[in-house]
Amino acid sequence: MKRVMILLMLASLVACGSVFKRGGGAKEPQAAPLPAIETSITLDRDWSVDIGAALDEGGRHLTPTVDAEQVYMADPEGRITAAGLSDGKRRWAKKLDAVISGGVGAGDGLVLVGTSKGVVHALDARDGNELWNSRVSSEVLTPPVTSKGIVVARAGDGRIYGLSTVDGASQWTFRRSVPSLSLRGAGTPSLYKQVVVLGFASGKIVAAEVATGRIIWDVNVAQPRGRNEVERLVDIDARPVLAGSVIYVAAYQGRVTALALGSRRILWARDVSTYNDLSVDDANIYVTDEQDTVFALDRLTGKTVWRQEGLKRRRLSPPTSMGGHVFVGDKEGYLHVLRKSDGQMVGRSRLKNGAVIGAPIPQGSQLLVLTQGGTLTSLTINN
């Protein structure tokens, strides 16, 4: 039975517009024992920094971001912190009187977060001073992103906003309907030159002009199937990824799909269910599914290159491709290292302060890993 099925059945009985938290409510099964491995790679800790308060299950949308040699972090209680990428030393910290529910975005000299009351805050990346704030229609559950003078923010009711980077004034907005039952959360918008691409709880993927909000195309990539609302969930909570001229997108209880950017033609689709972000390299797509299997899928065909099933019931993070390895974290704070060529586990390190939250973040030879207790750690990979 799927990890969240009991909770979903309960959620299906409540009013329209309801959401639920993945993995919450029902008791989780015990994690699978860690298999013995022959270690060929080690992970050295460079530095750690406390980001503030602990994160809950929703912490997947409070992940750090790096811009101009600084890393920016936020916690649910309103703290935003900037630290040096090289040494982890704090450059500045800011406390908002708000519950931060979406962040962190950075770019154009701004650090961006969204709140549970539907406010986007823009801080000066140099010193943390607030430059502006702008209200949107509902809770912000993803990091705002910025490009070409526009901040793109998405609200929980399906509305997408284009805000001026100068003063937060609304430049455009559009909306897509939200099903009566959906996962709590949404996919972070992806920016490609002058285009923003987003996935929706309806199973649609939408591309729009960043400057104007004009819809360029709107494609169904996951069709609802089943006899009730629970079985028909097809939320696209994974961030769409562009590689070459192909967009890769994944849906919960749906498929991983390769979509040609120009023609919008579906090149291939695989029945793999996930709400985690994907990772892409020159050859493969890497996926952690809802059953905690790690897949490597061929980018051109979608065929399985390998699968790693030794981490069942460990509530895996999204995968990260870096060098010759794939990195995934788990609910006990372990970071697992898989060899790209065959998926074999070749390294493991346990971090402090609970589960790994979000995908490990590669930065040159560094790997940044956030844990649920509110600690960000920088690791160096040694072969």
| Residues 135, 156 within the same domain | yes
DSSP 8-state secondary structure symbol assigned to residue 300: T
| Cα–Cα separations (whole angstroms), residue 322 to 24, 243, 377, 380 | 31, 15, 17, 12
pLDDT confidence band for 170 (50 / 70 / 90): very high
Least confident range from 45-49, 175-179, 214-218, 359-363: namely 175-179
| Residues 210, 247 within the same domain | yes
Tokens of 359: 């995908």
Boundary-marking domain end, from 232, 258, 276 = 276
pLDDT confidence band for 19 (50 / 70 / 90): very low
β-pairing, 181-183 with 18-20?
Answer: parallel
- Name the burial class of residue 50, with classes exposed (0-12), middle (13-18) and buried (19+) by CB atoms within 10 angstroms of its CB: middle
| Cα–Cα separations (whole angstroms), residue 268 to 232, 248, 258, 300 | 21, 10, 5, 8
pLDDT confidence band for 202 (50 / 70 / 90): confident
Number of domains in the chain: 3
| Residues 216, 245 within the same domain | yes
pLDDT confidence band for 324 (50 / 70 / 90): very high
Let me know how long the chain is. Answer: 383
| Residues 106, 181 within the same domain | yes
Tokens of 288: 């952690």
| Residues 162, 82 within the same domain | yes
Query: What confidence tens digit (pLDDT) does each residue in 71-89 have?
Result: 999 999 999 999 999 999 9
Q: What is the CATH number of the domain that holds 118?
A: 2.40.128.630
Phi, psi of 9 (to 5 degrees): -60, -40
| Residues 182, 194 within the same domain | no
pLDDT confidence band for 127 (50 / 70 / 90): very high
- Name the burial class of residue 323, with classes exposed (0-12), middle (13-18) and buried (19+) by CB atoms within 10 angstroms of its CB: middle
| Residues 221, 164 within the same domain | no
| Residues 128, 169 within the same domain | yes
* Owner of token pair 């870096």: 322
Q: Which of 120, 195, 193 is nearest to 154 (CA)?
A: 120
Q: Which domain holds residue 11?
A: 1-30
Contact between 102 and 112 under an 8 Å Cβ cutoff? The reply is no
Tell me if 23 is assigned to some domain.
yes
Tell me if 287 is assigned to some domain.
no
Least confident range from 261-265, 268-272, 305-309, 353-357: namely 261-265
| Residues 112, 179 within the same domain | yes
pLDDT at 53: 83
Mean of the per-residue pLDDT values of the chain: 86
Tell me if 314 is assigned to some domain.
no
pLDDT at 54: 82
User: pTM of whole model > 0.85?
Assistant: yes
Which residues pair with residue 74 across a beta bridge?
80
Q: Pick the residue with more confidence: 339 or 352?
A: 339
Q: Which of 87, 127, 88, 90 is nearest to 111 (CA)?
A: 127
Euclidean distance between CA atoms 8 and 62, whole angstroms: 24
Phi, psi of 10 (to 5 degrees): -70, -40
| Residues 172, 194 within the same domain | no
